[in-house]
Every structure is written in C-alpha cells, then in structure tokens.
Amino acid sequence: MVYRKTKYANIAVALLFLVLSTNFLIYQSTVLEYFSVQLNTGTVVGSLIDLAIIVPLLMIAAFKLSIKQTIGIMVAGLVIARLLIPSELFTPFTGILYTGIIIEALLVVAEIALLFLVIRKIPEIRLQMNEGALYGLLPSVEKVVTKNILIRVLMSEFLMIYYAFFTWKKKAPHHEGVVTMHKKNSAVAFHLMLIHAILIETIGLHWWLHDKSTVLSIILLILNIYSVIFFMAEIQIMKLHPMEVKNGKMYISQGLTMRIIVPLNLIKEVDWGAKVPNKNTVQFAYKDFETVEPDAVIYLSKPVETTIFMGLKKSVSEFAIRIDEPEQLKLFLSNRDEPNSLT
C-alpha cells in the first residue's frame, strides 16, 4: 500500500482510527454499563457497515489500493466484526461473513494457481533473464507469466532468500564501468550491527516472552529471523551489485529496497554536489552511522521505472546518488554521448 501524501489522506487516517476505536469500545462491557447502552440489531448493522464499507473507503482515501486489496480489507472487516460482536447478535449475519470468506478464498486459490504457473514456466523465465537475477527476474516473470502483485511479492522474497544463502561464492563485476557504493562508508558494518542487535534481542526477549505469551514470542521470533535474512541479503547485494555503466545503461541498486536501470541517452542533466531537491526524490545512498549527502542529482528527459520494496514500481524523473568514486562516474557520464563509450 502506498500512502497518499495529501491532506485528505491525513483526515482519512484520523477518521479510520475513530471508526475502529468506537466500534471496539461499543462492545466492551464496561463502556456499555457506564453509558447504559443496550446492544441491538441496529448496532450490529452499523458496525458491519463501518467495518466492511466505511473502513475500506477510508483506506482507499488514505492509500493507493488495488481491487484485490480492497476486497481483502472488506473481508478482514467482516472477520473483525465477528470477533467483536457477541455471537447471539451476529448469528443472523453469519452468511455475509461466509460469503466474504469464500470470495477471498477464490482469489487466493487463483493467485496460488499463478504461482504454480510461474514454477512451470521457469525455463522460459530463465531464457528471458538477460540482466541477472536482481535486475532481470521480475521483468522476466512479468513478461512470461503475469504482473500480478502477489507474484511480484513472492519473487522479491525469492530474491531475498537467493542472495542471503546462495551467492556467497559469486564475485562482484570488475570492469571499467564499475563504481562501488559501499566501500568508503560503514554500510556493511551498520547492517552487521543490526543483525547482532536482532540476535541478542531474540535470545533475551524471546525466552522472557515465551513464559508470558507463547504466540507473541513465536511471532516475534519469526519476524526476527526474517529481518536477519533480509539484512544478510542486503549485505550480499551491496557487495555483488555496485553501480555499473555498461551497454549504454546505468545499473544502480540499493539492496533489495530499490533498483533502477537508466539508459544513458535519457540523462538530461547531472547536478554535482547538489542538495536533494525535495523529500520525494529517490536516493541511492547506503545507510551509514551518520547522515550522508548525495554526490549528485541526476535529471532525466523522461521518467524511468524504478523497482522498490516488494517489487512495487515507481516512475522517477530525477534521483540522487552517493558513490565511492564520484570522479569516475563523472568521467563515464561526460563521455556518454561517445559511440564507443562503455557499450
């Protein structure tokens, strides 16, 4: 879900919180006793309208949602209603809940079928991958199978597992068009520190929580394992995928969270040493222990699609970049119009 950065989105989030909190409070016995409120069928109908219709509409106002996401939120609202509303009051509306669950189940089955289709077409997908796994997997799957959002998410998770566990013997590219982005900062150390912190927190907090709440401790353990795998993959990608200029294109990645392929002929202007124009400008700069400034802001003659977290797409017409050797990149870009330059 992408947040809509408008004043209406902020109002929608405030109303969303109000709707959810009031529906939660109205079914608490202490609240009913304090206000001497008697629950009836009208109250249940109001809650169903709030949770299955009003909440999705507010979510649409606050976030950019697909149709499937909207249906999922509607079904989730019905499930929440079932958990909140006493059984004797909800019984006449059980059919609505089951209908919603069946619709959602059919959507899930359809998307699982797409996943099996991806597995069946792996040979075709591999033939389409001319750019390597990081840059080529998602475009190849979209071209051969589908642009379905669930498939994009699953392929992104596959990339995480692949880089975390199966790339240790691979070597980074080495040619005149390579400029590293991680050697003159503390990005690797920063990620290793995060991994160590998660491991220490897992050992201590997990065993303490296990006696308090087994379910919560298991959820926390799963999230921490996922985080460690994610940061392992990030370290491998920053080592194996420096910025590259080759075949008339610039390849830039920032771990699993962002990557872009920019044709050199679309670069309109390079502003060296400039500040980031605005907060929405995409920045390719690895996290460090201190705030870092970009070496350049690159402006494009027309928007280029960048892939962000979980395989989502975003069109950008400008982006900032920080690299280890700015002079080397400056040389590449100054010669980009020459016919034989890094092609």
pLDDT score, position 126:
85
Q: Are 129 and 140 a contacting pair, CB within 8 Å? A: yes
Question: Which residue in this structure is represented by tokens 């460690």?
Answer: 228
- Whole-prediction pTM: 0.70
Q: Which residue from 62, 63, 51, 322 is spatially nearest to 186, judged by alpha carbons?
A: 322
| Two tokens, residue 264 | 């050199």
What confidence tens digit (pLDDT) does each residue in 278-289 have?
777 888 988 777
pLDDT score, position 33:
79
pLDDT score, position 187:
87
pLDDT score, position 337:
55
pLDDT score, position 243:
92
Contacts of 50 (CB under 8 A, 6+ apart): 19, 23, 77
Q: Are 265 and 169 a contacting pair, CB within 8 Å? A: no
Three-class SS state of 253: strand
Please give the full DSSP string across 256-317, using - where no structure is assigned. Answer: TTEEEEEEGGGEEEEEETPPPSSTTSEEE----SS----SEEEEEEEEEEEEEGGG-EEEEE
pLDDT score, position 237:
93
Q: Please give the Cα distance from 341 to 329 (Å, whole number).
A: 13
pLDDT < 50: residue spans in the chain: 339, 341, 343
